[in-house]
Structure 1
Amino acid sequence: MKKMILSLFTLLLAGVLAACSGDEDAAETEDSADETVTEEEEATDDEDNEEESGEGKGGFLWKVESGDTEMYLQGTIHLGTEDFYPLDPAIEEAYDRADVVLPEFNMLEEQPSQEEILEYATFEDDTTLDEVLSEETYDELAAIFEDNGLDLETMNEFQPWFVEMTLLQFTTMMSDVDSQAGVDLYFLEKATEDGKEIVSLESADEQFEMLSSYSMDTQIQTLELAVDGYEDAADELEELTETWLEGDVEAMETMSDDYGEAGINDEYMEELNDNRNIDMANQLDEILQEDSGQVYFVFVGTAHVTVDPSIVTELEDKGYEVEHVY
């Protein structure tokens, strides 16, 4: 699982792909997904009830208790397919028991406008993309954009991190997975329909501010890695979603080694994963110390609960016993 720089976003950033795609594209994707589901349902009416139960689908569920308060920690993936659901009964029951759900942020209500995204995405001065990238990388990137019916020159005002997100959109469209079928969105829609209290751990603005605040060296490096791995990226996204569906914790725990081997620098992972995990663990610690007697269901990208320093290890360092449920 090397060169998975594009896949990393599906484990760490809730809703960024959907936000960058725009509401209209998301709606089209959703309509297309609905049609696909209808076709699949017609073709699989006679399948076993075992598959419909969701048994064996997913994993990455932990539990921590403090006094009369219970908290479940569910690692998600921000892409998926409609036949993911329902998930394993252990996961579904943990959600059902919850009084309060805590996503990274509520993308159903907190998406920034396209104007706000542009403010984060564009260069602050007269710098252009072709000036900061090597000629070789720019030419390779231009070829990718041309294959997708776009002219890279129209992206010259955008920072490398945003262009990297555009590559992820291309990759997702080429793959069999969909941001509109992501596990985090699945739980958000259920929680909204069920009338559960939703409390965000972060905000969309915080995620975009983090991405846009990377040094230019880091942005260039990760975009170069994304371009280098682009040809295999769609297959890797599909492999990643299958790994998630199989609940392969060991594979997820070793992902940090793969990122290191791919040459990702310390700043990237510290901001994207480490610092956010520490902050989210501190918020969860405050909730646990309050001991309200409620049941909480936390769902965040899987790397947040598997890649050290993870939310799980941070809570353990604070003295909590964190049980791997499923």
Structure 2
Amino acid sequence: MLIHFLSRRCLTCIALAIASLCSTVAALAAAADAATCPPQATAPTREVLQRAQQLAADRGFLWRISRGGRDSFLYGTMHAGRAEWLALGPRTEASLARTGVLALEINVMDPAVQAALREATQGPSRRLSAELMQSLRDAWAAECLPLDNLQVGPTEFHVVQLAVAQAQRHGLFPLYGAESALLMRSLRTERPVVGLETVQTQLAMLLARSDEEAEAMVRDALADWRDPGAQHVLERLTRAWVRGDLKDLEAYADWCDCLNTPTEREAFARLVDGRNPGMADAIERAHASVSVFAAVGALHLIGSKGLPALLQARGFTVTRLF
């Protein structure tokens, strides 16, 4: 059951595509009371990009993975960020420049992927009790999200949109995530972009398997939305990424307050660890013919089931660069 992993506690677990969809919806939020609504991201101006370049630094986590005389790179991202992070740091830039393809969790530049995501946002909603639906409406109103949109699309997307709105209140926006910086740089240099997963794979991890599961997801997400302590988890996760603090990230289970029950641990196994073998397969296949810069959510890189460990077990020499 994907409950806490659609909350502020685990924002970087949210697939880039889903976060991007939520960003689009959030851009339509009512602006009647700007003082109480979450801030909205805007397309970065030349001045914003120049400022980002002045502040460019290596953030996140980077490994070199080598096999067969070829080097590729594995980069741990945050799917939401700040405008001043839109420039790559020098080691990130140099590593990307050595590769022939950028590999993201899914290729959001692919028209077929975009079409599949649009179709997914129009899918059926889950049945919720009247009481829970009213609580969800109240939360949406508090985040200035369009109430009419609650009638369209999967309930699970609505939960993600609440999480994105809360992240925006803390200055983190999907539009400014690490993948955006990598995409901008790759598009300028005409570097091909590929996906490590299909939209269907990510949706299978996101969508509830029954009305009862969806209702439980919404209840827990609303409880988390009301919890002022949840912001501290997001702040700590962001700080670990900005500083490249791998030790703290590896201790995530000790401080995230999101792996306390068998249900929560099963959700993590599905959403994070469960996807890693498929992404490792895709990286291995691509590396056979071209140097790859693979960028995935940072939580996919930790532990014995993380991508560095999986690729090392497949015969890659894995070296952490930062």
TM-score, L = length of structure 1: 0.78
Contact conserved, 1:129 with 1:155, CA < 8 A, in 2? no
Cα shift at 1:139: 5.1
2:267 pairs with 1:268: yes
Q: Does 1:199 align with 2:202?
A: no
Give the equivalent residue in structure 1 for 2:244: 247
Q: In the alignment, is the contact (CA less than 8 A) between 1:101 and 1:191 conserved in 2?
A: yes
Matched residues in 2 for 1:112 and 1:207: separation? 15
Match of 1:181 in 2: 176
**Residues in 1 aligned to 2:268 and 2:178: alpha-carbon distance in whole angstroms:** 23
Superposed CA deviations along residues 189-228 of structure 1, whole A, max 9, x for unmatched, are 2111111122211133432243225444544444333212
- What displacement does 1:172 show? 2.9
Taking a change above 3 Å as real, the CA distance of residues 244 and 218 of structure 1, as seen in their structure-2 partners, is farther
Q: Encode CA deviations 1:52-79: one digit per residue, 9 max, x unaligned.
A: 3634x41311111112211110000111
Q: Which runs of 5+ in 1 are unaligned?
A: 45-50
Q: Which residue of 2 aligns with 1:130?
A: 129
> Distance between the aligned counterparts of 1:243 and 1:101, measured in 2?
24
Is the 2:122–2:153 Cα contact (8 Å) retained in structure 1?
A: no
**1:37 is the counterpart of 2:38:** no
**Residue 324 (str. 1) matches residue 310 (str. 2):** no
Q: Which amino acid aligns with 2:220?
A: L
Match for 1:100: what amino acid? V
The equivalent of 1:82 in structure 2 is: 83
- From the superposition, tell whether residues 179 and 36 of structure 1 become closer, same or farther in structure 2 (CA, over 3 Å): farther
The aligned counterpart of 1:229 is: 224
Change (3 A) 1:152 1:119: closer
The unaligned stretches of length 5 or more in structure 2 are 29-38
Deviation for aligned residue 1:303: 0.9
Moved more, 306-315 or 191-200: 306-315
Q: How far does residue 140 in structure 1 lie from its aligned partner after superposition? A: 4.1
Correspondence 1:118 to 2:121: yes
TM alignment of 1:144-163, pairs within 5 A: 144-149=139-144, 155=150, 159-163=154-158
Asked if 1:69 is matched to 2:80, the reply is: no
Measured at CA, do residues 187 and 228 of structure 1 come closer, stay the same or move farther in structure 2, by a change above 3 Å?
Answer: same
Do the aligned partners of residues 145 and 114 (structure 1) sit closer, same or farther apart at CA in structure 2, a change above 3 Å counting?
same
Q: Deviations over 1:208-255 (max 9, x none)?
A: 243225444544444333212214355544443232111111222222
Aligned equivalents of 1:149 and 1:59: distance in 2?
31
When the two chains are superposed, the root-mean-square deviation of aligned CA atoms in Å is 3.3
Q: 1:281 to 1:150 in 2, by over 3 A?
A: closer
Q: Distance in 1 between matches of 2:134 and 2:148?
A: 11
2:281 is aligned to 282
CA displacement at 1:318 relative to structure 2: 2.5
The residue type equivalent to 1:312 in the other structure is P
1:256 aligns with 2:225: no
Q: Structure 1 residues 213, 37: closer, same or farther in 2, change over 3 A?
A: same
Amino acid at match of 1:37: V
Structure 1: which amino acid aligns with 2:205? Answer: M
SS at match of 2:81: coil
Larger deviation: 229-238 or 313-322? 229-238
* Alpha-carbon offset, residue 182 of structure 1: 0.4
Q: Which residue of 2 aligns with 1:59?
A: 60
**Does the C-alpha gap of structure 1 residues 230 and 317 become closer, same or farther in structure 2, counting only changes over 3 Å?**
same
AA in 1 matched with 2:177 = G
User: 1:129-148 CA distances to partner (integer Å, 9 max, x unpaired)?
Assistant: 226xxx4x555434322323
Compared CA separation, residues 152 and 83, structure 1 to 2 (3 A)? closer
Deviation of 1:33 after TM superposition, in Å, equals 4.7
Instruction: Give % identity.
Output: 22
180-189 or 251-260: bigger deviation: 251-260
Q: Distance in 2 between matches of 1:278 and 1:174?
A: 34
How big is each residue's C-alpha offset from its partner over 1:251-270, in whole Å with a ceiling of 9 and x where there is no partner? 22222343212775344223
Q: Are 1:64 and 1:321, in contact at CA under 8 Å, matched by a contact in 2?
A: yes
Shift of 1:183: 0.1
Q: Distance in 1 between matches of 2:119 and 2:17?
A: 15
Deviates more, 1:209-218 or 1:95-104: 209-218
CA distance in 1 between counterparts of 2:217 and 2:236 reads: 21
Amino acid at match of 2:301: V
Residues of 1 paired with 2:190 and 2:46: CA distance? 27
Q: Counterpart of 1:129 in 2: which secondary structure?
A: coil
Contact 2:8 2:231 in 1 (8 A): no
Change (3 A) 1:247 1:31: same
More helix by share: 1
- Aligned pairs (5 A) from 1:284-303: 284-288=283-287, 290=288, 292=289, 294-303=290-299
